[in-house]
Amino acid sequence: MNEKKLNFDSSCPAPINKYDKIMLAHGGGGLLSNKLIQEVFFSEFDNKYLNKMHDGAVFQTEKGKMAFSTDSFVVQPVFFPGGNIGELAVYGTVNDLACCGAVPKYLSLGFILEEGFAISDLQKIVKSIKFAADKAGVQIVTGDTKVVEKGKGDKIFINTSGVGFVKNEVNISPDNCKSGDKIIVSGTIADHGICIMSLRAGLEFETEIVSDTAPLNHLVREILSVSDKINVLRDPTRGGLASTLNEIAASSGRGIMLYEKEIPVKEDVKGVCEILGLDPLYVANEGKLLVFVAEEDAEKVLETMRKNEFGKDAAIIGEVTGSDDKIVRIKTSVGTTRIVDMISGEQLPRIC
Amino acid sequence: MNEKKLNFDSSCPAPINKYDKIMLAHGGGGLLSNKLIQEVFFSEFDNKYLNKMHDGAVFQTEKGKMAFSTDSFVVQPVFFPGGNIGELAVYGTVNDLACCGAVPKYLSLGFILEEGFAISDLQKIVKSIKFAADKAGVQIVTGDTKVVEKGKGDKIFINTSGVGFVKNEVNISPDNCKSGDKIIVSGTIADHGICIMSLRAGLEFETEIVSDTAPLNHLVREILSVSDKINVLRDPTRGGLASTLNEIAASSGRGIMLYEKEIPVKEDVKGVCEILGLDPLYVANEGKLLVFVAEEDAEKVLETMRKNEFGKDAAIIGEVTGSDDKIVRIKTSVGTTRIVDMISGEQLPRIC
């Protein structure tokens, strides 16, 4: 493994051992996920695209710059307030492409269905996929369907992959963040994860928390048209804001400072977080954008975001410090500063 | 549904009913698969790319012609003579792209792992993926990993999606086949399916049947360089030769005649087919190419194929007739003619 790769230093769990078995936490988006990805996948597939740890790959072809991304969705339950696995699958890949600075164009759909799954439910999901694709302005151009025996799957898993095109002058990448960059989030955090966890905990009748699943590509197009000083774009999904920021800090070699009181969190989301003992910084979002932009353009980008339906609660929540310690810190509401680590284990399995 | 779509007329099962549940046969590549795809997916996503019923989508971008394909792999068992799910996943998508006339370039990998799966097995699979990608000359550029609880998956499912580039003058599509076209298969049929079924039936120590999993992109490149009269390329995977030819007959509106004695089948594969009561025409292949080429170029293409390691047993096995009845017929070894229908139910679940 080369030096460019992530380094989560002292808090890293022990290296993967050949007697180890896959644990839920290997899919949680935290430290164990990163271990698996680096020790099992990257050690074999070492190449410049993967090593960027981006949401997708951007490559120069003789025909221009393209982005390509993939995501599998195993969310449980399949239907939830604000959406279902179908919209999630479309917006997930659309957003990954948008965070590469691409205009998403074409999507593929791969279904793994469990024997016995109701076709009426499949039809509902397919309608949501169509709705979401239209809303994002992408086309479903190819697909595949597999069926596994009852008890060998869980209702429905969906893979979406997508391609998009990147303007030559756009250069967005997690290792691009620069000292002094302002960090903007497009709205309230933790909505999706708390929506799903409330459902599982049986709290859904006491709250009105809905998933934030949404397409971010139009928002990205708008901010790229007003500023050429946007360096990093990411949607903080699995592992939440904390994990995403730790990844960016590690891959860029920068330190990050957050301001707790600026981070938008809905009151009822805060409430459920307290009941369930969760920190919203680590909870998944499915329709939120993180923007790293040079200070001089930050206000302009913020204003542009607030005019978009998916950015109306946008806020500047932190900045890239002058340090090269790769640590994410937060200035708390009470004025103290603490380190925001990457999560080690599994907080919310099958959140997306 | 518009008129361009497939029509499997009288042999079609009843339309999908809202009370229906997913059955294994919905993933078998036969009539029920086609029903599901058309009534649930195509009725919603109606567009010119999907309606071609090709192995992938080919689209014209402002930057040239591109192909994009996706496939999920759920083969059980994961390891089998001749390969494992890893090679299968790489070659499956590489071959789908090649059958669009594309040069495959970039692949994505989406893993759905079951909690408790041995990491040493995952490592073996990842090594096979790397080996296969190198052999095919493609790069793994982006990926995703999800983990589901024990009992909610089955060891490992892999989605691969891929992109490739198509030369402007190449125009390969299942609706392209023309009256008089010769049909060439690149080698013996039914090897992969019978390898897997032998394993499941406990016959593996009595036979030496190995999967034919192989990359076909180099073979495709070679034949496209010697002939500009190749009209259709397909790899007959799930549902075997019979289902693939029925799809081509339906989407092109042509009749097809096969010559049974010309179709290469290994003796031990024939033997297992007899024991298990299977027809090799319906058994999956994972490294075989079907070529529809104008008669005047057929011998030249055949010779070129035979020089390639994956085409040495290539044979002309049939032709497109002058009829527009969309029926696949076979002249049997005893001189009679029978219809080769699309399979209705499920012959071999989870074969790929």
**pLDDT tens by residue, B283-293:** 999 999 999 99
DSSP string of B18-55, one letter each residue: TT-B--GGGGSSSHHHHHHIIIIIIHHH--HHHHT--S
**pLDDT of res. B29:** 82
Residues A190 and A321 in one domain: yes
**pLDDT of res. B6:** 43
Whole-number percent of chain B with pLDDT over 70: 94
Q: What is the 8-class DSSP label of residue A283? A: S
**Among residues A110, A133, A166, which one ends one of the domains?**
A166
Out of B112, B119, B127, the one facing A74 most closely (by C-beta) is: B112
The pLDDT confidence band at residue B348, using thresholds 50, 70 and 90, is confident
Predicted complex ipTM: 0.94
- The parent domain of residue A76 ranges over 47-166
- The residue in chain A having the minimum alpha-carbon distance to the alpha carbon of residue B53 is A142
CATH (domain of B128): 3.30.1330.10
Residues A154-180: what's their mean pLDDT?
Answer: 94
Q: What is the 8-class DSSP label of residue B118? A: B
In a domain, B271, yes or no: yes
Residues A208-222: what's their mean pLDDT?
Answer: 97
**Among residues A166, A197, A218, which one ends one of the domains?**
A166
**pLDDT of res. B28:** 85
Whole-number percent of chain A with pLDDT over 70: 94
Out of A40, A126, A144, the one facing B72 most closely (by C-beta) is: A144
Contact at 8 Å (CB) between B217 and B289? no
How close is the nearest chain B Cα to the Cα of A293, in Å? 25
pLDDT digits (tens, 9 = 90+) for B22-40: 999 898 888 888 889 989 9
How close is the nearest chain B Cα to the Cα of A349, in Å? 8
**pLDDT of res. A350:** 92
CA A169 to CA A129: how far, in whole Å? 32
For residue A235, pLDDT over 50 is answered with yes
**pLDDT of res. B202:** 84
Residues A247 and A329 in one domain: yes
CB–CB contact A129 B57 (8 Å)? no
Task: Collect all residues with Cβ–Cβ distance below 8 Å to B225 and sequence separation of at least 6.
Answer: none
CA B247 to CA B18: how far, in whole Å? 26
Residues B304 and B191 in one domain: yes
Residues A182 and A324 in one domain: yes
Select the residue from A105, A125, A161 to test the B interface by mutation, using most B Cβ atoms within 10 A.
Answer: A161
DSSP string of B133-171, one letter each residue: HHHHT-EEEEEEEEEE-TTSS-SEEEEEEEEEEE-TT--
For residue B10, pLDDT over 80 is answered with no
Q: What's the structural domain count of chain A?
A: 2
How far is it between the farthest Cα atoms of chain B? 57
In a domain, A12, yes or no: no
Q: What is the 8-class DSSP label of residue B189? A: S
pLDDT digits (tens, 9 = 90+) for A58-82: 988 877 899 999 999 999 999 999 9
For residue A18, pLDDT over 80 is answered with no
Identity of the residue numbered A255: G
**pLDDT of res. A325:** 95
In a domain, A30, yes or no: no
Helix (H, G, I), strand (E, B) or coil at A314: coil
pTM of the shown model: 0.94
CB–CB contact B161 A159 (8 Å)? yes
Identity of the residue numbered B297: D
Residues B111 and B202 in one domain: no
Out of B18, B119, B154, the one facing A152 most closely (by C-beta) is: B154
Select the residue from A119, A173, A200 to test the B interface by mutation, using most B Cβ atoms within 10 A.
Answer: A119
Out of B36, B63, B159, the one facing A110 most closely (by C-beta) is: B159
CB–CB contact A154 B145 (8 Å)? no
Residues A138 and A227 in one domain: no
For residues A277, A279, A282, A288, the Cα torsion angle rounded to the nearest 10 degrees is: 120
How close is the nearest chain B Cα to the Cα of A125, in Å? 10
- The residue in chain A having the minimum alpha-carbon distance to the alpha carbon of residue B105 is A61
Residues A317-331: what's their mean pLDDT?
Answer: 97
Residues A136 and A188 in one domain: no
Identity of the residue numbered B352: C
Whole-number percent of chain A with pLDDT over 90: 78
**pLDDT of res. B12:** 52
**pLDDT of res. B18:** 61
pLDDT digits (tens, 9 = 90+) for B183-207: 999 999 999 999 999 998 887 667 7
How close is the nearest chain B Cα to the Cα of A24, in Å? 6
**pLDDT of res. A28:** 85
Out of B49, B73, B146, the one facing A141 most closely (by C-beta) is: B49
Residues B103 and B203 in one domain: no
CA B183 to CA B338: how far, in whole Å? 18
Which comes out higher in pLDDT, residue A48 or A178?
A: A178
Q: Which of 30-89 (A) contact B at CB < 8 A?
A: 33, 36-37, 40-41, 44-45, 47, 49-50, 54, 56-57, 59, 61, 63-64, 66, 68-74, 76
Residues B276 and B181 in one domain: yes
For residue B339, pLDDT over 50 is answered with yes
CB-side neighbour CA atoms (13 Å) of A305: 26
The pLDDT confidence band at residue A142, using thresholds 50, 70 and 90, is very high
Residues A66 and A181 in one domain: no
Q: Rounded to the nearest 5°, which phi and psi values hold at A146?
A: -120, 150
In a domain, B296, yes or no: yes
Residues B131-149: what's their mean pLDDT?
Answer: 96
In a domain, A226, yes or no: yes
CA A90 to CA A132: how far, in whole Å? 6
CB–CB contact B72 A116 (8 Å)? no
**Among residues A110, A141, A166, which one ends one of the domains?**
A166
**pLDDT of res. A205:** 66
**Token representation of residue B80:** 């089998």
CB–CB contact A21 B127 (8 Å)? no
CATH (domain of B258): 3.90.650.10
In a domain, A232, yes or no: yes
Reference B236, options B175, B283, B301; nearest CA is B283
The pLDDT confidence band at residue A345, using thresholds 50, 70 and 90, is low
For residue B1, pLDDT over 60 is answered with no
Residues A1-17: what's their mean pLDDT?
Answer: 50
- List of chain A residues whose C-beta atoms are within 8 Å of the C-beta of residue B129: 44-45
What are the Cα distances from residue B161, in Å, to A72, A163, B20, B53?
11, 10, 30, 17
CB–CB contact A143 B59 (8 Å)? no
Residues A271-277: what's their mean pLDDT?
Answer: 92
In a domain, B104, yes or no: yes
Q: What is the 8-class DSSP label of residue B341? A: P
**pLDDT of res. A4:** 39
Out of A72, A140, A157, the one facing B45 most closely (by C-beta) is: A140
**pLDDT of res. A19:** 67
Contact at 8 Å (CB) between B293 and B228? no
Residues A122 and A197 in one domain: no
Interchain CB contact of B334 with A (< 8 Å): no
* Peptide bond before residue A77 is cis, with ω within 30 degrees of 0: yes
Interchain CB contact of B188 with A (< 8 Å): no
- Computed over every residue of chain B, the mean pLDDT equals 92
Q: What is the 8-class DSSP label of residue B255? A: -
Residues B315 and B260 in one domain: yes
CA B94 to CA B241: how far, in whole Å? 19
What are the Cα distances from residue A273, in Å, to A195, A238, A263, A333?
11, 16, 15, 17
In a domain, A188, yes or no: yes
Q: Rounded to the nearest 5°, which phi and psi values hold at B79?
A: -110, 135
How close is the nearest chain A Cα to the Cα of B335, in Å? 38
**pLDDT of res. B7:** 42
Mean pLDDT is lowest, of A264-268, B53-57, B273-277, for B53-57
pLDDT digits (tens, 9 = 90+) for B244-262: 999 999 989 999 999 999 9
Cα angle for residues A126, A130, A136 (degrees, 5° grid): 140
